[in-house]
Structure 1
Amino acid sequence: MKMLVLLGFFCLVPWLGSSEYEYVWRDSTTRSCKEIPVDLRLCHGVGYADMLLPNLLDHESMAEVKQQAASWVPLVQRRCHHGTQIFLCALFAPVCMERPVQPCRELCVSVRDACSPIMTAYGFSWPEMFNCSRFPEEEQEMCIDRTTPSTRSASDNNSTCPQCDHDLVLEHMCATEFAFKTKIKETSVDGSDLTVFLQKKKKLVMRRGDLSSDEIKNLELRLINGAKCPCPQLDERRHPYLIMGRRVGQRHLLTGIRRWDKSNQFKNLLKQLKSQKCSAYNPAFK
């Protein structure tokens, strides 16, 4: 169940792009109180029952809120910061008051600093729509502040690289553009990253993406921050692995790796990898 709830992280939707939107908190907007529905998973049970609509991201219908908020549920599940859900729900489902209350800048900065390393691992950056300079400081006006210190960062040296976390192999499925069964030939350090060289032969293609046959044959993958965190799979090269990745500019990033096995759980993973529909995916964190 832990793996399934994480399915869809980075199945990001087009509204995350920063160039088309200007987020201005419009006091003149007519808002109404709505009960937070059970299927608004991001914010149901957050600590209050009713929310304002339109919200602080100008989503005007509950259907739109549900669609847009769903992409952020797995980030909350990662527990990179205690206040992640509080911060996100302050925007997606603001508490029902006479005037909307924004998250404090300090809360935004704290969540960003704790959670952005996870996003960076997959080639994404903190979105402009959550630019912390947009939010007020606590001394300026009433806002929602963080209640506890942040938890450990995903980049801590004692933490397994998120791309290599065995329990999170489904987490990036919708951001995965290609996937293979293959063995690892060698790795090399490149600054804070690792370059992963795959065997040129015997690649079983599970998902091709837009890669040509020559690209598949000579594929080299970048493991972001791989020199700073352990990836046990890269130390054991006798076995074949399910290698997942995607293209970012001229680079190919490794987004997930798991040892190939014959368990029913793994077979179900392969079925989902082949059939998962991710039409909403958009590389929006560029």
Structure 2
Amino acid sequence: MKLCFFSSWLWRPLSLALVLVLVSAFSRASEYEYLGWRSEQVSGGRSYGKPLQCLDIPEDLKLCHSVGYSQMLLPNLLEHETMAEVRQQAGSWVPLVHKGCHPGTQVLLCSLFAPVCLDRPLPPCRWLCEAVREGCAPIMEAFGFPWPEMLACDKFPQGDVCIAMTNASTTQPTQLSGPAPVCPPCDNEMKTEAILEHRCASEFVIKAKVKEARQQGSDRRVTLERRRRLLNRGALKKKDLKKLVLYLKNGADCPCQQLEQLGKTYLLMGRKVDEQYLLTGIHSWDMSNAEFRKALRMLKSHTCPGFEAVFK
């Protein structure tokens, strides 16, 4: 069995553990008809239109370039046949990895977008998918995105002929000691990339002061001061802006420092989900900060991945 990725994995202990799992799995691969499983349960009956190729993972494929191996298979498990397709879709998932909601998130996603270069692609293990879902689904829900069909965990095998991580921490969601983790939209990193990631999960951007923030069920209801400036309209109309109320999804108990400092000016972002306008980002309006000024300049010109095409 050709293991074209093996030498490139030896420099990362966790990745080496993954190699051992894969080698063990392929020693029993004859018991598992992988391609039949894939065509029936993942791709809806479609088969590969092109022969499998082993390609270098390009540097601009940010989701998987640092995953721990250097080559990937195309077509992948999501039926992308070109690197351009992979780049376009994979970029939508980079912010989720940055949130650090589970240590196995990148491995799970890259097993689908950029399968490790073996003689046949391997799916992720069901337990890994379930562990990542437990840790990351609440983060996605905070931004108004459901756990997508492409990551429906019951599609993946329960046996050992699959991508897994032997690190024990991957069986549990990321646990933080001390107080509850900050609400995802309230991450107050004054970094251009972090602000733009929030922008890409949003439909509109406004400048305003927070008048009130109070608990409403499991959410937090955020009322703004009357004076508001629309920076990116999206589908938000002027009449909607005047009566706009934002909701911090499942944010009743998690800390949000910005909502405790009323009367300050903020850069607020949101998107409409069902009949609510969700708060998807809140950053202090700080023109003395170079990273903030840079993000502000890029708000209108920045090209975002197509979230709606992916998270469905």
* Structure 1 residue 250 displacement after superposition: 1.4
Distance (Å, rounded) in 1 between the aligned partners of 2:231 and 2:222: 19
TM-score calculated relative to the size of structure 1: 0.83
Distance (Å, rounded) in 2 between the aligned partners of 1:29 and 1:93: 16
Distance (Å, rounded) in 2 between the aligned partners of 1:212 and 1:23: 40
Matched, 1:262 2:287: yes
Instruction: Structure 1: give runs of 5+ residues left out of the alignment.
Output: 1-20
Matched, 1:276 2:295: no
Q: Matched residue of 2:84: which SS?
A: helix
Q: Deviations over 1:79-137 (max 9, x none)?
A: 21111111111111112222221110001001111111110101111100110000000
| Among 184, 202, 207, the residue aligned to 2:232 | 207
Could you tell me which residue of structure 1 aligns to residue 27 of structure 2?
none
Residues paired across the two proteins, number: 262
Distance (Å, rounded) in 2 between the aligned partners of 1:270 and 1:196: 23
Change (3 A) 1:144 1:125: same
> Contact conserved, 2:213 with 2:222, CA < 8 A, in 1?
yes
> Contact conserved, 1:23 with 1:129, CA < 8 A, in 2?
no
| Among 239, 243, 248, the residue aligned to 2:268 | 243
Distance (Å, rounded) in 2 between the aligned partners of 1:58 and 1:134: 15
What is the letter of the counterpart of residue 41 of structure 1?
K
Kindly report which structure 2 residues correspond to 1:118-197, keeping only aligned pairs within 5 A, or say none. Answer: 118-138=139-159, 141-148=160-167, 149=169, 150-152=172-174, 158-167=180-189, 168-197=194-223
* Structure 1 residue 22 displacement after superposition: 4.1
Instruction: Structure 2: give runs of 5+ residues left out of the alignment.
Output: 1-41
What is the letter of the counterpart of residue 50 of structure 1?
Q
* Structure 1 residue 24 displacement after superposition: 5.2
Distance (Å, rounded) in 2 between the aligned partners of 1:102 and 1:131: 12
What is the letter of the counterpart of residue 232 of structure 1?
Q
Distance (Å, rounded) in 1 between the aligned partners of 2:142 and 2:175: 12
Which has the larger displacement, 54-63 or 42-51? 42-51
Could you tell me which residue of structure 1 aligns to residue 90 of structure 2?
69
Could you tell me which residue of structure 1 aligns to residue 129 of structure 2?
108
> Contact conserved, 1:186 with 1:198, CA < 8 A, in 2?
yes
Could you tell me which residue of structure 2 aligns to residue 8 of structure 1?
none
Q: Deviations over 1:21-60 (max 9, x none)?
A: 9455858973122222222222224222222111111111
| Among 109, 121, 143, the residue aligned to 1:88 | 109
Between the two structures, name the one with larger relative contact order (CA 8 Å, sep ≥ 6): 1
Q: Matched residue of 1:126: which SS?
A: coil
Change (3 A) 1:153 1:192: farther
TM-score calculated relative to the size of structure 2: 0.77
**The structure with more helix, counted as a fraction of residues:** 2
Q: Matched residue of 1:48: which SS?
A: coil
> Contact conserved, 1:25 with 1:56, CA < 8 A, in 2?
no
CA root-mean-square deviation? 2.4
Distance (Å, rounded) in 2 between the aligned partners of 1:147 and 1:209: 44
Which has the larger displacement, 95-104 or 222-231? 95-104
Change (3 A) 1:23 1:78: farther
Percentage of pairs with the same residue: 49
Distance (Å, rounded) in 1 between the aligned partners of 2:92 and 2:282: 22
> Contact conserved, 1:114 with 1:153, CA < 8 A, in 2?
no
